[in-house]
Each structure stands twice: as C-alpha cells, then as structure tokens.
Amino acid sequence: MITLTIIGFGNISQHLVREFSNSKTVKLVQVFTRNENATFNPQNFNFVHQFSNLIKTDVTIIAVSDNAIAEVSDAIPFENTLVLHTSGGIALSGLNPKNRRGVLYPLQTFSKNKSISFNGIPICVEAENESDLAIIKKIANSISKKVFDIDTTQRKSLHVAAVFVCNFVNHLYKIGSDICNEHQVPFTILQPLITETANKTLQLSPHDAQTGPAKRKDFEVISSHLKFLKNSDNKHIYEMLTQSIIQNG
C-alpha cells in the first residue's frame, strides 16, 4: 500500500478523503487541518493540526487554495517524498523542490452539498520523472477510470476552459433563473433545455449545435430581447455574447 497524507480539509480535500478512506491501493494515514474541531465519519486516519506532528508518508497531496500551495509545500517537514498539488492553475514548479513534485488535478466542480462519484472524473497527472508518474497514475487509477497525461501549460488551458464551461455557464443559469423568478415562471421549465444543451456536446461540436437568434442573425428578436431585459448588467452580457456568436459562429 502507498501511504498518504492529505493536507487541507476544504471542499476538494473532503471529497478526496472520502475516496481514499476506502482505497485498496492507498492507505490514508493522516489529514492536516488547522481546524481542531474537524470530524469525519467514518474516520480511519488521524487529524493533525501542526506540521511538526506529521508522520512521513510515501505521498502527500496538498489540497488547499492556490495561493497557499507554495507556503504549505515549504512547511512540509520531510524531504524526497512525493508531494502533489491538485490545482489546475499552478505549475509543477510551484512546489518546493526539497520533495519530488507532481500534480493530481481532478477536473470537476465540487460542491459541499452534492455528492459525486469520482469514477467518471477526469484526473490530469504530471510528474518530474517516469517512476513518480507511475506512482501518481496508480493513485489516480484507484479512484477514477479517466486518467490523462497533461503538462503544466495544457493543464492551465483546461483550467481556463473549465471556467468558461462551468463557472460562467453556471452564472448564465443564474441569470436565467433570475429572469424566471422575476416573471413568476418556475425555473424547472428550463431544466430539459439545460440538460439537452449539455448532452448535445456529446454528439455535436458546439459550433454545429448552436441555435437561436444570434446564430440566425435575427436582429428583430435580438432587439426585442434587449428591450425586454431591465437589468443593465444582463443586457450588456446579452449584447456581448450575441456579438461574439455573430462574429465567431
């Protein structure tokens, strides 16, 4: 078994703790968190609250916010173990070189109140050498069927693209929901449309899947929609995305 430390007990970290608690490949030894009241059920590992109390393990996964990764990797009290971060936006070189460095980036949106099966989540892996890459792949394959070799620049491009297809998309859902609420229409009426739009990407390229007034250059409908929108922010978003569809297809 590969012995494992997880540092951080936030959103992604708790999902990882759940996965590795049941692993036959990895023995989760300890979880580091500043929060002295942290609990987890079932708990078959130790909570550690000070870096000096960490026991040396084969692998450490740093699952903290991007801007804390460098500091945490400096604070790890071991050398020459394998230390991974889980961030899409941070380079491999963002980790302290006193340990062997790698990345295990699960590309998914994690919410605390929605459970998710790791099995279908793409995990992007990177390491400094082949033997470390093999260890990371072994760990990644133990929780997901979709493991990809992705270098730092590619991972960054995925992270940026993910903001467009997840965070920005979700914000458009929010605007749609606000417009429904304003007119006493249940947002659930839009759910089949949301699902079908997402499912289309499995069969058609987004370019081929496009429909609607901007794609048809139907300026009459576009201008009636702009008149209908009262919120100036939403009006601006409507104008800009319409322009972008007209210009880029």
Residue numbers 9-28 binding a copy of itself by CB under 8 A: 11
CB 79, CB 98: distance < 8 Å: yes
Nearer to a copy of itself, 27 or 225 (CB): 225
Q: What angle do CA 167, 159, 97 make, to 5 degrees?
A: 140
Scanning 22-30, 37-45, 130-138, 222-230 for contacts with a copy of itself by CB under 8 A, the matching segment is: 222-230
Q: How far apart are the first and last CA of the chain?
A: 51
Work out how close the CB of 104 gets to a copy of itself at its nearest, in angstroms, rounded to a whole number. 15
68 forms part of the interface with a copy of itself (CB under 8 A) = no
As a whole number of angstroms, the distance between CA 185 and CA 177 comes to 9
Scanning 22-30, 70-78, 112-120, 134-142 for contacts with a copy of itself by CB under 8 A, the matching segment is: 112-120
Scanning 21-29, 37-45, 102-110, 128-136 for contacts with a copy of itself by CB under 8 A, the matching segment is: 102-110
As a whole number of angstroms, the distance between CA 235 and CA 216 comes to 19
Work out how close the CB of 66 gets to a copy of itself at its nearest, in angstroms, rounded to a whole number. 6
Q: What is the DSSP letter of 94?
A: G
94 forms part of the interface with a copy of itself (CB under 8 A) = no
Scanning 37-45, 49-57, 135-143, 156-164 for contacts with a copy of itself by CB under 8 A, the matching segment is: 156-164
CA dihedral of 212, 109, 195, 117, whole degrees rounded to 10: 160
Rg (CA), the chain: 22
**One residue of 17, 31, 72, 121 binding a copy of itself per CB under 8 A:** 121
223 forms part of the interface with a copy of itself (CB under 8 A) = no
37 forms part of the interface with a copy of itself (CB under 8 A) = no
Work out how close the CB of 81 gets to a copy of itself at its nearest, in angstroms, rounded to a whole number. 27
As a whole number of angstroms, the distance between CA 32 and CA 35 comes to 9
Nearer to a copy of itself, 29 or 143 (CB): 143
204 forms part of the interface with a copy of itself (CB under 8 A) = yes
Sequence length of the chain is 249
As a whole number of angstroms, the distance between CA 95 and CA 72 comes to 9
Q: What single letter denotes the amino acid at residue 125?
A: V
232 forms part of the interface with a copy of itself (CB under 8 A) = no
As a whole number of angstroms, the distance between CA 95 and CA 54 comes to 18
